[in-house]
Structure 1
Amino acid sequence: MDEFEQFMIDFLHLTGIDLSLYKRPQMERRLTSLRNQLGCDTYPQFAEKLSLQPEWLHRVLDKMTINVSEFFRNRERWTMLSTYIFQGPMTHPFRFWSAACSTGEEPYSLRILASQAGVTEVDLLATDIDSTALSHARQGIYQQHQLREVTKSELAAYFQETPVGWQINREIAESVHFQQHNLLSDPYPSALDLIICRNVLIYFTDGAKHHVISEFAKALRTGGLLFLGSTEQLLHAKEYSLYPVAPFLYQKLSTMP
C-alpha cells in the first residue's frame, strides 16, 4: 500500500468520503498540489494536519469539487431544456434537483427559467458536498464574469446590484433549498421531474459513475429528465431506462426494475 492509498483510508475515517471512488490521477494531482501548498512533504503528515486543523478540510473539499460555474453555462442547452421541461400542461408541482450545485448558479438559473415560463409551483432542491460552496450559494452574490450569459433584462428582473456584486432577488433565493449531500454515499430524493448534474461524473470512476446514474434513474418519475454536462454522454443509457431526447438530455421512459 502506497502513501496515497493509506491517505484515502485516513480521509475516509476522517470525513466519510471515499476518495477511491474518484479517478485517482486527477484527484491525486489536485491533492498533491494542495498538500505542497500547505507545507506538508508527505501524505501521512498531510493526514495528521487535517485531523488537527479541520479548517484545512474545507480547502481539500474545495479542491475536490472544482467550484467553477456560471449562470446559464452553454446557454443553448438551457433553452433546449426549457422547451422540454415546461412544454406540457402542469399536472403536479414540479420537483427539481440540482445535484453538485457548487455555488448556486445552476439552481438559480433553473428557477429563473421556471419564472420565465410562468411556473410558480416548484420544489427545487440544490445539493453539494462542499459546505463552503453552499454558504456562498445561500448568500446569492455573484460577479460579472459569472453572469456573462445573463441578459440585460434578466439582470434587471432577477438581480440587485450591491457594492460587492450582483445579488439574486429574494423571491428566487428563498425558493431554492440548499442542503449538503454526498452523491456517493447519501440517500437520494425521489419522484423527481428533473435532475441537473453537469460536469461532475467525469471525475468519478466507472463504478462510482454507474452507481450515481442508477440512483438518478431511480429518483426520477417516469417521464422525468436528466440533464448532464457537455462532456458526459451516456453510452449505455438504456440500461438505466434512460433515453436521449436531445444532446445531453435523457428521459426516463419506464420504471426501473
Structure 2
Amino acid sequence: MTDLLTDSEFEKFRKIIYDKSGITFSATNRSILDSRLKEKLREKNLASVQDYYNLIMSDEGEMKTMLDSVTTNLTRFFRNQPHFDALVHYVIPHIIEEKKKTGGTVIKIWSAGCSTGEEPYTIAMILKSLLPPPYTFQITASDISLKSLMVGQQGFYPESRIQGIPSEYLSKYFIKTENGYQVCKELISTIKFDYHNLRNDSGMRNLDIVFCRNVLIYFDEAAQKACIDRFWDAMGKKSYLFIGHSESLFGMDTKFEFLKTDWACLYQKNL
C-alpha cells in the first residue's frame, strides 16, 4: 500500500476536491488528506491511491463519501456566544420590525455547514424562547457530510457534547437518557437537515438570516467569493449574515455591508 501521496497524486485529489466542494488542500494540510485516503484504501481493500481515484470518478456515492471524510466537523452548542447575543438583542428585533411592515410572520434561517447540528439547535432553542406570537421560524441546516447530518437529524448527544447549554434550555428541550441527552421532538421538528454542497445554488430565496461560520476558511478567494454571492442571492431584504469570528469579507468585492453591533460584528444585505 502506498505510504504517502506522490506529488502528482496529491495534485489530482486536491483538484477534484476543490472542483467538487471548494475545499482547498495545500502543503500545510496535505497530511490530513494523506491520512484520510489511507483509511479509505484500508476500508475498500484497494492496492493504490490511483485505484481509489478511479473509484470516486466512476461512483458518485463514493465521491460524496470521500468529500465527507476530508471535511473537519468541529462544533459545539452556543459556540461564539457574542454571535447569539447579537441575534437576540439586535437581529431578531430588527427583523420583527421589518416583518410588521410586510405582514410576514415566518423568519427563515439557513445554518450552512451545520456539522452535527449543534448550531441549528442552538438557534432553535433561542428562537423558541424569544419569539413573541404570531412569529415563527424555519431552519434549514445543511452540510456536505452525510455522517454529520445523520447525527443532527437524530438529535442525540453524549454528555460530553452538551456543555455550554444553559440549564433552563437543557431541562426544557432535552431528555436525559442513560447514555446522554436526546433533543425533544418539538425542537427537532423546527429544523430540516439537508445535504448541500456550497459549490451549488441552494435554491433557497428570501432568507432572513444565514449562519455560515468557520467554513469559508477552507476555501480559496475565488470559492469564497462565489459562495458569498450565492448567499446574497438566497437572502431577502434587510437580512443578516453571520460568518466565523476569524473570517472576514474585507477586501472582497461584495454587496454586503459590514455591521458592528454592541455584541458582535456581522454583515447585512441592506436593501
Q: Same fold (TM over 0.5)?
A: yes
Aligned twin of 1:34:
36
Q: Distance in 1 between matches of 2:185 and 2:231?
A: 30
Q: Which of 78, 87, 104 is equivalent to 2:117?
A: 104
Q: Are the counterparts in 1 of residues 216 and 224 from structure 2 also a CA contact under 8 Å?
A: yes
Alpha-carbon distance, 1:115 to partner: 1.0
1:82-124 C-alpha deviation (Å, 9 max, x unpaired) = 2122214343210111111111111111111101113551121
TM-score by length of 1: 0.85
Q: Are the counterparts in 1 of residues 108 and 209 from structure 2 also a CA contact under 8 Å?
A: yes
Corresponding position: 1:201 with 2:216? yes
Percentage of pairs with the same residue: 29
Corresponding position: 1:69 with 2:69? no
Q: Which of 189, 213, 218 is equivalent to 1:174?
A: 189
Q: Distance in 2 between matches of 1:50 and 1:60?
A: 8
Corresponding position: 1:94 with 2:111? no
Aligned twin of 2:226:
211
Q: Distance in 1 between matches of 2:48 and 2:70?
A: 19
TM-score by length of 2: 0.81
Q: Distance in 1 between matches of 2:112 and 2:196?
A: 8
Whichever residue aligns with residue 32 of structure 1, its letter is: D
Q: Are the counterparts in 1 of residues 256 and 267 from structure 2 also a CA contact under 8 Å?
A: no
Instruction: Look up the SS of the partner of 2:181 in the other structure.
Output: strand
Instruction: Look up the SS of the partner of 1:194 in the other structure.
Output: strand
Aligned twin of 1:123:
138
Cα pair distance change 1:173/1:96, threshold 3 Å: same
Cα pair distance change 1:50/1:217, threshold 3 Å: closer
Q: Which moved more, 1:62-71 or 1:232-241?
A: 232-241
Q: Are the counterparts in 1 of residues 207 and 235 from structure 2 also a CA contact under 8 Å?
A: yes
Structure 1 unaligned blocks of 5 or more: none
Cα pair distance change 1:184/1:20, threshold 3 Å: closer
Q: Distance in 2 between matches of 1:53 and 1:2?
A: 22
Whichever residue aligns with residue 211 of structure 1, its letter is: A
Q: Distance in 2 between matches of 1:158 and 1:230?
A: 27
Whichever residue aligns with residue 24 of structure 1, its letter is: F
Alignment size in residue pairs: 249
Q: Are the counterparts in 2 of residues 8 and 19 from structure 1 also a CA contact under 8 Å?
A: no
Cα pair distance change 1:7/1:61, threshold 3 Å: closer
Q: Which of 234, 241, 253 is equivalent to 1:226?
A: 241
Cα pair distance change 1:6/1:232, threshold 3 Å: same
Instruction: Look up the SS of the partner of 2:254 in the other structure.
Output: helix
Alpha-carbon distance, 1:54 to partner: 8.4
Alpha-carbon distance, 1:191 to partner: 0.3
Corresponding position: 1:240 with 2:255? yes
Q: Are the counterparts in 1 of residues 159 and 180 from structure 2 also a CA contact under 8 Å?
A: yes
Aligned twin of 1:252:
269
Q: Distance in 2 between matches of 1:31 and 1:46?
A: 13
Whichever residue aligns with residue 19 of structure 2, its letter is: D
C-alpha RMSD over aligned residues? 2.7
1:209-250 C-alpha deviation (Å, 9 max, x unpaired) = 000111112221121000111111220367323322333411
Q: Distance in 2 between matches of 1:208 and 1:102?
A: 19
Q: Are the counterparts in 2 of residues 213 and 240 from structure 1 also a CA contact under 8 Å?
A: no
